């Protein structure tokens, strides 16, 4: 699912590619699983309107939503803070 669809815009690891959309797609690497699930359900139900994500989310089963949320939320990142004067 991620390899077939999501990666076109969000990247395999959740770093947006800049492709496929007039609006830059958000980075979703290491996002909380519950947040990803909630967002995808909202796009699926139409509670959040976005022409591309509404179409994409409508193709996802509950199991697909669990799986893609598990994938992007389980990627670990390291944070480097900017220097502060």
Identify the residue whose tokens are 């199991």.
63
Check residue 68 for interaction with ligand HEC (CB under 6 A). yes
Q: Which of residues 8-47 bind ligand HEC (CB under 6 A)?
A: 8-10, 20-21, 23, 25-26, 28, 36, 39-40
Angle at 71 between CA 67 and CA 75, to 5 degrees: 165
Cα–Cα distances in Å, from 71 out to 22, 23, 34, 50, 51?
A: 25, 23, 12, 22, 24
CB of 70 to ligand HEC, least distance (A): 11
Where does this chain bind ligand HEC (CB under 6 A)? 1, 5-6, 8-10, 20-21, 23, 25-26, 28, 36, 39-40, 48, 50, 52-53, 56, 60, 68
């Amino acid at each position: 699912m991620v390899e077939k669809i999501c990666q076109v815009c969000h990247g395999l690891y959740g770093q947006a590619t800049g492709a496929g959309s007039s609006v830059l797609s958000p980075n979703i690497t290491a996002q909380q699983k519950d947040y990803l699930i909630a967002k995808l359900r909202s796009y699926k139900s139409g509670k959040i309107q976005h022409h591309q994500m509404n179409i994409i989310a409508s193709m996802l089963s509950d199991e697909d939503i669990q799986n893609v949320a598990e994938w992007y939320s389980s990627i670990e990142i390291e944070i480097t803070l900017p220097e502060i004067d």
